[in-house]
Chains A and B, each alone.
Chain A
């Protein structure tokens, strides 16, 4: 059983309120940072911890913070990205619902390190009730003197504002989030300049995921080196994984980075194995990461056990690996149709494309239409090549990563499950039944059995 750093007290009664949170050691990191540490020392601890961005890209947080430009007389901002809109991901929601003060505490400590006197939480539109929980927590903290002027007599002023988005996936992209926060249309900006130089209101800004900021609390409390002891290699600490799909025990789990994938998916402590049938495929990090067959999820291409770390999951590159992403884990059993799932993903990205740059605006819709045709028994063999070519022409040619996110699931599905696509062309009548594989599971042909 791994250590719980974020969820240690999450089931304690009254943890959502300030009193209960404080009784369980809350706001210690603020006391420690503001009373005994300098901002540079906090940054140093975060660097030592090896903490990587928990939103999906896995960029080292300490490095991101040290890139923040610090011109004289210009305010700096911390923006927390709570626009958790990656399909399959619901870890931040759970954290903010259950233990909102952890985020508030992390924001105060992080802002102290960054020298930001104002910070924002951008909450996705569907989480309007979470925004209320956060606002209540912020009001409690403000009343108790954890926010406001001269916190703990240290001379550090800080305040937090909650902003609710309107529910667009694209606003989870950091620059689109900033545009939206400024009250504009949520279109991603063209980088450079990066937010660390010109972010919110053209001021230096750090944008971090909820979980990243929450993880700063145990890092400051226990020290960066202690935090870095958990995990393997460059994947340190704990990670929240929101597990769903055809598993016995769906839910949000805090795992030590470094447990084996087999343990995570099959042990009763976590997912508890398959719900009755056989596993077919796994998406370990939210809908935009490549889908992998179950066997390839358990073992790397070289036959070693795959671990739940950034490096091990991407072992084998895009052809044989996948990504840890945001931790939106979901598994498919053999009743599921990969073509249908890919179409569903494509439909999502088509709907969520902002329409700013042409490959994504036009390409996502095209892929959706071709996949719809295949799934509904009207496809042709050439469609598979066509899809491959469309995704290839979107990937890497767009302003923001949404184009890549739309292309990867299609590419990996064709790469690993091409026989299912072919089946949809050769068995047109059968696939017109939406539950085609639930009635008769798809058997891999010999050609693909070892892929």
Chain B
């Protein structure tokens, strides 16, 4: 078992583990050590050959291994570099690396429209998190940003190429989950775009997972678009016995009152879905009676989505509070009537 040290924290991992996976293991072992985990915009553990493109997960290998202690000359993509025994890695402890990562984030943002106020992904967008944590507050880019027209790819998915960061995750979904990929990257350089050869060509039971894996608001659910800001919904875990043998049927229902606004896969602490779900579950079962509800989805306290839960708690507290004041009494009556 190779032993790797990331920012001074050591862990033993199985052979073939990448630096990023090792860092996540450290983060899972002790939540206080989660700062050693590099951000990842294109890597997705359940999609083979993903990663390496966005360069946000770059780290500095300060010692190659016990056998060959030379440092690596350039920053490496932690998601595609396997650990060696005795390897030492700097993630947050190397100022030059933090500067380089700042640069990558800046590059990702120079052509991004920053249209968060009208983007459905806002609130659960990895690029928002990334730029908040690793970016700068101002931009040095003064030229016109590149734009594309939104297009329909498949009858349930809208593509806003303008927001895309070309992480290739949806391409890998097309390759690995569906029976034949019909979309991909066309053109090259900074006009490269995700597209289908023929519009609306994507018609597959698992194509909806492209929406879940998209780190930004480039691929959005047409059945949910503009229905609600995500932080005004209440996510609950639910499941059903899905007819599709490849579908786990384990989902999150994004509710407003008794209405199911959206169905997605369950995302883990690294923002990756735990198991992929089929399009029937995602798009066609928007009735709460079709599901066995397990209970509220646990949302990280730092996420804006958790606001909905706090609202609920405040209301519950109000209903049972021993000494409410006059406005609170009025509110209590209103809640009871509802």
Contact = CB atoms under 8 A, between A and B. Distances in A.
Interface stretch (A77-85, A258-266, A354-362): A354-362
Given A362-B108, A386-B140, A397-B103, A356 B166 contact: yes
A358 B166 contact: yes
Interface in B116-171: 140-141, 143, 165-166
Contact of A355 (B75, B80, B188): B188
B100 interface: yes
A369 interface: yes
Size bin of chain A's contact surface: 20 to 34
Interface stretch (B51-59, B258-266, B323-331): B51-59
Contact of A362 (B184, B188, B190): B190
Contacts of B99: 393
A190 B52 contact: yes
Contacts of A362: 107-108, 110-111, 190
A185 interface: yes
A220 to B, nearest CB: 34
The 7 lowest CB-CB distance pairs between A and B, nearest first, are A393-B103, A355-B192, A362-B107, A190-B52, A396-B74, A353-B189, A365-B190
Contacts of B104: 358-359, 393, 397
Interface in A390-439: 392-394, 396-399
A70 interface: no
A392 B75 CA distance: 13
A350 B190 CA distance: 8
Interface string B46-87: 000001111110100000000000000111010010000000
Interface of B: 51-56, 58, 73-75, 77, 80, 99-100, 102-104, 106-108, 110-111, 140-141, 143, 165-166, 184-185, 187-192
A165 interface: no
A355 B58 contact: no
Contacts of A389: 103
B37 to A, nearest CB: 19
B247 to A, nearest CB: 30
Interface string A370-397: 0000000000000000100100111011
Given A356-B166, A358-B165, A363-B107, A397 B190 contact: no
A216 to B, nearest CB: 30
Contacts of A352: 188-189
Nearest to B192: A355
Contacts of B185: 185, 355
A350 B8 CA distance: 39
Contacts of A354: 188-189, 192
16 contacts: A185-B185, A190-B51, A353-B188, A353-B190, A354-B192, A355-B188, A355-B190, A358-B107, A359-B107, A393-B106, A396-B74, A397-B55, A397-B103, A398-B55, A399-B53, A399-B77
A366 interface: yes
Contacts of B77: 190, 399
B73 to A, nearest CB: 8
Nearest to B186: A185
A178 interface: no
Nearest to B74: A396
A350 to B, nearest CB: 7
Contacts of B107: 358-359, 361-363, 366, 393
A359 B192 contact: no
A168 interface: yes
A393 B190 contact: no
A396 B51 CA distance: 17
B214 to A, nearest CB: 16
Given A356-B53, A386-B140, A393-B100, 7 more contacts: A168-B188, A354-B189, A355-B187, A362-B111, A364-B190, A365-B190, A393-B107
Contacts of B190: 350, 353, 355, 361-362, 364-365
Interface in A189-229: 190
B65 to A, nearest CB: 14
A351 interface: yes
Contacts of A355: 166, 185, 187-192
Nearest to B144: A369
A358 B55 contact: yes
B140 A361 contact: no
B80 A190 contact: yes
Contacts of A170: 188
A350 B188 CA distance: 10
A357 B54 CA distance: 5
A362 B141 CA distance: 11
Nearest to A362: B107
Contact of A369 (B54, B106, B143, B187): B143
A168 B104 CA distance: 25
Interface in A307-365: 350-359, 361-365
A364 to B, nearest CB: 7
A392 B190 CA distance: 19
A366 B75 contact: no
Contacts of A357: 52-55
Nearest to B167: A358
A350 B189 contact: yes
Nearest to A354: B188
Contacts of B106: 393
A396 B61 CA distance: 13
A397 B187 contact: no
Contacts of A369: 143
A353 B187 CA distance: 11
A338 B143 CA distance: 23
A399 B189 CA distance: 14
A397 B106 CA distance: 13
A357 B53 CA distance: 4
A354 B189 CA distance: 5
A398 B165 CA distance: 15
Given A190-B52, A354-B189, A397-B55, A359 B111 contact: no
A323 to B, nearest CB: 16
Nearest to B140: A386
A399 B76 CA distance: 9
B147 to A, nearest CB: 14
Given A190-B52, A356-B53, A358-B108, A397 B58 contact: yes
A396 to B, nearest CB: 4
- Of B80, B103, B140, most buried by chain A (CB within 10 Å of CB) is B103
A354 to B, nearest CB: 5
Contacts of A393: 99-100, 102-104, 106-107
Contacts of B184: 185
Contact of B110 (A356, A366, A392): A366
A314 B317 CA distance: 73
